[in-house]
Structure 1
């Protein structure tokens, strides 16, 4: 069996400022760096055979902060990038959502194609391509994947639709939360948006 530990990147400056952050990038804040390090501490007892990350700096830096000195191969993959919001990149999130009157589900289904970006179907196609390619490369073990909030939502909808309903989430995907999908011939959702690895790791780092 393969277990994919899917982690959203740590907090960024754009997260703090409530700005649209898709294919554009902003660095991790100190809080975001600490979250990623804490998640690495929380996941220290999990033996990873490989790690994959979005090409975006915030996800790549999160992966490296989790891995630290462990000798885990790390592969960058563009298919793990966040939604592309086109010309709305860098705007306030309220501008992004204004045409949809706050209806999140409608927003991601229609997407921002007219602004040069993507919709949910397009993102689901690329994450499906990612899993279809890499899953056969690993017979078993634990795989770390660092990516983005809406991309994780697309992964859940595409790979484990039988196990996931948006109503399971009280909010979006948290920074440095862990979502675990298992593969045993079929994909199954085991853990959703778990911040315990991050929070327990942060507590342990403070004690040191």
Structure 2
């Protein structure tokens, strides 16, 4: 049986500053760091002692710091992969969110959603975004490790889950799996049927202790 735990990084500076994230290399806030510790402890409690564990992460600071907290408890080094980054918003990154909101062109209800131009110079299309996440997932799943942890971003979670359930990329333009910052999504594949299940999406119960501190 294989289990994937997909972590969306907790609170980062771009959240509290109200600026566009994407590839803008924001850091965890103090609250985000406390949440990362709680995430690590929750995962340590779920995975049996002595089990082999692999940790993969986007290479941006807010995800890699989260991954470091997790990997430390399992005695492993996180594997950083730029393909697990959030969508790139091009020239909007690091600018006030309202700057992007004024220029953003939403995708059509039908038609070429994956290649849609959102009206911002350098903005990554959904197709390019999905293709790199799917490619990263293909490589991660080449491993036979039974417990894998992936630290990524809220937007990219959609394509991690879509890839897991083998949704064709052309259909993923209509998919949206929402999960709060600092959440854990659990994915499972059984050894007999090899069915792939979404066990839980966006669990945040572990953050109660971080907020209480």
Range into which the TM-score falls when normalised by the shorter chain: 0.7 to 0.9
Match of 1:3 in 2: 3
**Alpha-carbon distance, 1:111 to partner:** 5.4
Whole-Å Cα distance in 2 between the matches of residues 113 and 2 of structure 1? 41
Q: Distance in 2 between matches of 1:70 and 1:156?
A: 24
String of CA shifts for 1:13-60, please: whole Å, max 9, x gaps.
Answer: 111122101112111110000110111122222336110010101100
TM-score by length of 1: 0.81
Look up the match of 1:176.
Answer: 182
- SS in structure 1 at match of 2:54: strand
**RMSD over equivalenced CA pairs, Å:** 2.9
Equivalence map 1:80-91=2 (5 Å): 80-91=84-95
Q: Structure 2-normalised TM-score? A: 0.79
Q: What pairs with 1:38-117 in structure 2 (closer than 5 Å)?
A: 38-47=38-47, 49-100=53-104, 109=114, 110=116, 112=118, 115-117=121-123
| Stretches (4+) displaced over 6 A | 101-106
Q: Quick one: which of 123, 127, 142 aligns to 2:133?
A: 127
- Taking a change above 3 Å as real, the CA distance of residues 193 and 38 of structure 1, as seen in their structure-2 partners, is same
Preserved CA contact (<8 Å) 1:6 1:152:
yes
Q: As a proportion of its length, which structure holds more helix? A: 1
Deviation, structure 1 residue 67: 3.0
Pairs aligned (count): 198
Cα drift, residue 190 of structure 1: 1.4
C-alpha change, 1:29 and 1:105, in structure 2 (3 Å) is farther
